[in-house]
């Protein structure tokens, strides 16, 4: 590393691979951090502030290699290697999440399990359009057709890549055409239209039109209703009265959003204009469900929403045993059960049941009545293949209700999406935890209660002792996004410092980095200074810089750029650079920042995904003018 006589541009190695080049970059960084003057000089040549110790990071080491091989950025070097290998951004190898590692079992939507290898093959086959492989996998496990990882099912990939026959097959097997992507809630139809997949778009429109009254240009009235802007709502209705009852690509109506946000005057105006009081959107929610529960796990109670429920019912909203249970209407629940005992297990359109509605309110008497009439607390509901009732009772710390549900067979080990099991959720209540244990509650192999208890007590001596005795705990795949994610979310720098000292690291790929590692700018800065990769991404190669650009998080974007984030990295969801994503979402300040910091104004993974193409397609005229005026990029 000490020889400073280097010829530029250097020829690429024979049969170059990104893995090989990443190793070269890591070797360069390691040498620089060890004090090698040549390595330090090379990194200083690309750093914005060579005197800043933060410039000794992997992103800058990669940029050094890219420049020495004759490329303006690491992403341009990576694209050349992909091109030479016959790949394109949509065909780079998929990133396999650690939770889907070989040997694991993955829970399917029907409550059964399948090997993680099968789940992974399903996603890969869906992206590649391999109908034969998908068909074979579904024959083995029918629920693989709708399996999800991080809220992403196979149909997402099939639509995104334009595989019409595969889209048809998955829809026939129960895939939801009204699915929205995570985290930006993009409808499948928008994915197909943006990418020019006309045949796929036609299939989706035909499926959606069977369920919803779809109209163009609903965005403005939905946004105004969500914001409670009555004047704008009335202006949109004056322009087109049919918008009162129209929905978008996933069945969302203006009434759903006005109800959800509690805007009584807007709700009243929409109903007077003819809005459908019982419109069912893609996830099964009617407006009245939006008033009764703002989140599928936790009921929100407010007098304002109760008044809206009354208004909806007065305008003809359907009243069933679930609605009665959610409102605490015991006479109606009792009357319904006397007419038909099977209604104890009624499931409403949004996949929730009366027993869980009563449990959410802590109504022991109603829960008892439903159980006595045959309610099964373990039947599937939204986000809970074995029901919500017991988890809700534990969440309320309602010992009497928990005992009642356990007596009727509620499972203390049933998983609730993103919330664990009732037994796990009872951690902070020893008596409740013991009660659940007596009925079969058990620790998940991933829980490590002694470690979590030490975290809770902030017993740093015990934590350090346990982690030094069992260093493998620091790197367990069961931590998902990494052992540092929780402390980062809580901005707990004391815990972060201890874990880093013991060898913990932020993984290069995670699901929820924007909401954990980058929730707090100060914490994000600490992690970057301590070695977090500024090019951290999710399994779609959507980097943190992409996300900060999409959300107009300028401070965090600057932080990433200062630590060497690849400004022209291309993701797989939008085939775009961070600049392209900012243009797509109309983030003018982020566009300005990225251009000032040297973003390539034309870089993209496809012609339809350039920043200018996004700005024009989405109607962001001011951004389109900025991009038109941007100087041409330097040659690769």
What local confidence, expressed as pLDDT, does residue 418 receive?
Answer: 77
Instruction: Give the burial class of 110: count Cβ atoms within 10 A of its Cβ; 0-12 exposed, 13-18 middle, 19 or more buried.
Output: middle
Domain ranges for the chain:
18-87, 112-209, 219-314, 321-438, 449-629
What local confidence, expressed as pLDDT, does residue 4 receive?
Answer: 44
DSSP state of 534: T
What local confidence, expressed as pLDDT, does residue 610 receive?
Answer: 96
Q: Does domain 112-209 have CATH number 1.10.10.10?
A: no
Tokens read off for 233: 């709502």
Tokens read off for 285: 């929610």
Cα dihedral sign, 220-225-228-234:
positive
Q: Going from the first residue of the chain to its last (636 residues), give the mean pLDDT of each consecutive group of 10, the final group possibly shorter.
A: 54 79 86 91 85 78 88 80 59 90 91 94 98 97 96 97 97 96 95 96 94 88 97 97 94 96 97 97 95 65 87 98 97 98 98 97 97 97 93 96 98 88 90 95 73 79 87 73 92 94 93 96 96 95 98 97 92 97 98 94 94 96 95 65
What local confidence, expressed as pLDDT, does residue 1 receive?
Answer: 41
3-class state of residue 114 by DSSP: strand
Instruction: Give the burial class of 13: count Cβ atoms within 10 A of its Cβ; 0-12 exposed, 13-18 middle, 19 or more buried.
Output: exposed
Cβ atoms of 171 and 177 within 8 Å: the answer is yes
For residues 531 and 586, what is the distance between their CA atoms, to the nearest angstrom? 32
What local confidence, expressed as pLDDT, does residue 364 receive?
Answer: 98
What local confidence, expressed as pLDDT, does residue 78 receive?
Answer: 78
Number of H helices and E strands in the chain, helices first, is 35, 2
For residues 344 and 492, what is the distance between their CA atoms, to the nearest angstrom? 45
- In CATH terms, are 219-314 and 449-629 the same topology? yes
Task: Give the DSSP letter string of 549-591.
Answer: HHHT-HHHHHHHHHTT--TT---SSSSB-HHHHHHHTT-HHHH
CATH superfamily of 321-438: Ankyrin repeat-containing domain (1.25.40.20)
What local confidence, expressed as pLDDT, does residue 478 receive?
Answer: 59
For 517, list phi and psi in degrees, rounded to 5: -65, -30
Instruction: Give the burial class of 85: count Cβ atoms within 10 A of its Cβ; 0-12 exposed, 13-18 middle, 19 or more buried.
Output: middle
Torsion angle in degrees (nearest 10) through CA of 173, 175, 178, 180: -170
pLDDT digits (tens, 9 = 90+) for 283-317: 999 999 999 986 555 555 578 899 999 999 999 99
Q: What angle do CA 205, 180, 98 make, to 5 degrees?
A: 135
pTM of the shown model = 0.84
Cβ atoms of 245 and 275 within 8 Å: the answer is yes
For residues 627 and 67, what is the distance between their CA atoms, to the nearest angstrom? 25
Fold of the CATH domain 219-314: 1.25.40
What local confidence, expressed as pLDDT, does residue 301 receive?
Answer: 58
Q: Does domain 449-629 have CATH number 1.25.40.20?
A: yes
């Amino acid at each position: 590393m000490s020889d400073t006589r280097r010829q530029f541009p250097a020829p690429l190695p024979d049969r170059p691979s990104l893995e090989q080049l990443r190793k070269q970059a890591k070797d360069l960084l390691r040498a620089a951090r060890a004090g090698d003057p040549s390595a330090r000089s090379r990194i200083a040549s690309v750093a914005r502030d060579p005197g800043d110790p933060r410039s000794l990071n992997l992103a800058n080491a990669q940029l050094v290699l890219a420049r020495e091989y004759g490329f303006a950025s690491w992403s341009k070097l990576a694209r050349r290697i992909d091109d030479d290998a016959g790949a394109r951004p949509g065909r780079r190898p998929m990133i396999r999440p650690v939770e889907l590692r070989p040997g694991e079992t993955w829970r399917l939507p029907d409550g059964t399990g399948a090997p993680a290898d099968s789940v992974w093959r399903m996603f890969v086959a869906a992206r590649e359009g391999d109908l034969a492989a998908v068909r074979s996998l579904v024959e083995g496990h029918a629920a693989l057709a709708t399996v999800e990882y991080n809220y992403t099912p196979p149909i997402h990939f099939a639509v995104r890549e334009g595989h019409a026959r595969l889209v048809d097959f998955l829809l026939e097997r129960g895939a939801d055409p009204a699915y929205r992507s995570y985290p930006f809630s993009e409808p499948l139809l928008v994915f197909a239209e943006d990418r020019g997949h006309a045949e796929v778009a036609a299939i989706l429109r035909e499926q959606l039109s069977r369920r919803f009254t779809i109209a163009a240009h609903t965005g403005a009235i939905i946004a105004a209703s969500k914001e409670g802007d009555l004047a704008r709502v009335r202006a949109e209705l004056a322009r087109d009265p049919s918008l009162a009852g129209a929905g978008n690509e996933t069945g969302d109506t203006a009434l759903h959003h006005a109800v959800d946000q509690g805007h009584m005057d807007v709700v009243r105006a929409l109903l007077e204009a003819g809005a459908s009081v019982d419109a069912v959107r893609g996830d099964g929610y009617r407006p009245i469900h939006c008033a009764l529960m703002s989140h599928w796990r936790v009921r929100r109670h407010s007098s304002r929403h109760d008044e809206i429920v009354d208004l909806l019912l007065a305008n003809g909203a359907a009243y069933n045993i679930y609605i009665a249970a959610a409102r605490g209407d015991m006479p109606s629940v009792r009357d319904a059960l006397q007419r038909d005992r099977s209604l104890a297990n009624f499931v409403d359109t949004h996949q929730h049941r009366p027993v869980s509605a009563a449990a959410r309110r802590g109504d022991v008497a109603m829960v008892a009545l439903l159980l006595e009439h045959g309610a099964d607390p373990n039947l599937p509901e939204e986000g809970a293949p074995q029901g919500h009732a017991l988890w809700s009772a534990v969440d309320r710390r309602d010992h009497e209700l928990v005992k009642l549900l356990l007596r009727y067979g509620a499972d203390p080990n049933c998983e609730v999406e993103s919330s664990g099991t009732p037994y796990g959720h009872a951690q902070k209540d020893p008596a409740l935890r013991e009660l659940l244990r007596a009925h079969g509650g058990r620790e998940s192999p991933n829980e490590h209660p002694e470690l979590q208890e030490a975290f809770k007590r902030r017993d740093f001596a015990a934590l350090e002792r346990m982690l030094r005795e069992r260093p493998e705990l620091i790197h367990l795949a069961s931590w998902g996004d990494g052992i540092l994610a929780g402390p980062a979310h809580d901005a707990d720098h004391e815990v972060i410092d201890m874990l880093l000292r013991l060898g913990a690291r932020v993984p290069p790929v995670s699901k929820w980095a924007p909401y954990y590692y980058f929730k707090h700018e100060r914490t994000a800065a600490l992690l970057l200074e301590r070695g977090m990769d500024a090019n951290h991404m999710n399994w779609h190669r959507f980097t943190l810089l992409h996300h900060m650009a999409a959300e107009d998080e300028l401070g965090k974007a600057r932080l990433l750029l200062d630590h060497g984030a690849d400004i022209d990295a291309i993701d797989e969801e939008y085939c775009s650079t961070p600049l392209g994503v900012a243009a797509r979402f109309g983030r003018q300040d982020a566009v300005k920042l990225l251009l000032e910091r040297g973003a390539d104004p034309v870089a993209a993974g496809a012609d339809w995904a350039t920043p200018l193409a996004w700005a024009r397609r989405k109607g962001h005229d001011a951004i389109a003018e900025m991009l038109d005026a941007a100087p041409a990029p330097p040659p690769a």
